[in-house]
Amino acid sequence: MASHPPVEAYDEIDSTNAEARRRAEAGDAGPIWITAAVQTAGRGRRGRAWSTNRGNLAATLLMATDAPPVEAAQISFVAALAAAELADTCLGEGVARLKWPNDVLIHGKKAVGILVESGARPDGRLWLAVGIGVNLAHAPQNVDRPAAAFAEHMGGRAPEPLAALEVLANRFEAWRHAWATQGFAPVARAWTVRAMGLGQACEARLPNRTLTGVAEGLDPDGALRLRLDDGTLERITAGDVFFGEA
């Protein structure tokens, strides 16, 4: 299998995802990793701010895919697995848990944020900007959910961002190759092993309604199966899921 795509590093940028989008809209298909020591306008899912202090990792992979949009969205699970395996390298096997769709938690607190954006290319393929932010040295304060940094759970210093990116990019490439050659099934199996909350009561906050039920697992396309309180089954394809959280 080929090594991971090249890395282009900046000291400061507005947003690695924004830079990937600019390049994609100018016709660049990648693949290339774009990273920066500091982001001045980083973003998370649903437009939430994602701050990047020096010492943390902010990186975006710009790539293209032949997959249709529904399948292309599965790349977020690939990213989550790669980030979880980076956590394994730093903190020990199995410390990282995954919460649908792509939150990476360390001892119950969010340590990694993933934002996937996409658009159509003139050749009919999709461009993907797979943004991954990792709290290596610092956890943000005054956020809506408890956050953690790798450094809080390590005996020594957290890895330097570029060293962490080397691990992350290699693990991402391994899982991307599995997804491209074997489909979503192996990714879904690995994600399920790390998943938190399956079989437990949860609340799914969707754009226009809130549902409560029990999270049963992934559908073959990555949707979350939610067994509602009245016994019916709902497929959750977008939204935020909470397990005993405020």
Provide the whole-model pTM. Answer: 0.91
- Residue-wise pLDDT for 229-241, tens only, equals 899 999 998 888 8
What are the tokens at 124? 């009919």
The pLDDT-based confidence of 163 (bands split at 50, 70, 90) is: very high
What is the reported pLDDT for 150? 94
Delimit the CATH 2.30.30.100 region(s) of the chain. Answer: 201-242
Is the pLDDT assigned to residue 56 strictly greater than 60? yes
Helix (H), strand (E), coil (C) string for the chain: CCCCCCEEEEEEECCHHHHHHHHHHCCCCCCEEEEEEEECCCECHHHCECCECECEEEEEEEEEECCCHHHHCCHHHHHHHHHHHHHHHHHCCCCEEEECCCEEEECCEEEEEEEEEEEECCCCCEEEEEEEEECCCCCCCCCCCCECCHHHHCCCCCCCHHHHHHHHHHHHHHHHHHHHHHCCHHHHHHHHHHECCCCCEEEEECCCCEEEEEEEEECCCCCEEEEECCCCEEEECCCEEECCCC
The amino acid occupying position 161 is P
What is the reported pLDDT for 102? 86
The pLDDT-based confidence of 1 (bands split at 50, 70, 90) is: very low
Query: Cα separations (Å) of 155 from 16, 85, 119, 175, 235?
Result: 30, 18, 42, 29, 42
Is the pLDDT assigned to residue 52 strictly greater than 80? no
Delimit the CATH 3.30.930.10 region(s) of the chain. Answer: 7-194
What is the reported pLDDT for 155? 76
- Residue-wise pLDDT for 70-84, tens only, equals 899 999 999 999 999
Does domain 201-242 fall under CATH 2.30.30.100? My reply is yes
- Residue-wise pLDDT for 165-198, tens only, equals 999 999 999 999 999 999 999 999 999 999 988 8
Over residues 36-55, mean pLDDT: 71
CATH classification number, 7-194, choose in 3.30.70.1290, 3.30.930.10, 1.10.3210.10, 3.40.50.720: 3.30.930.10
What are the tokens at 121? 């290319």
Is the pLDDT assigned to residue 47 strictly greater than 70? no
Q: Which of 50-59, 146-155, 215-224 has the lowest mean pLDDT?
A: 50-59
What is the reported pLDDT for 43? 63
What distance in Å separates the CA atoms of residue 109 and residue 156, rounded to the nearest whole number? Answer: 20
What is the reported pLDDT for 246? 41
- Residue identified by tokens 């990213």 is 79
Is the pLDDT assigned to residue 2 strictly greater than 60? no
What is the reported pLDDT for 134? 96
Query: Cα separations (Å) of 86 from 96, 172, 246?
Result: 9, 10, 28
What's the chain's average pLDDT?
90
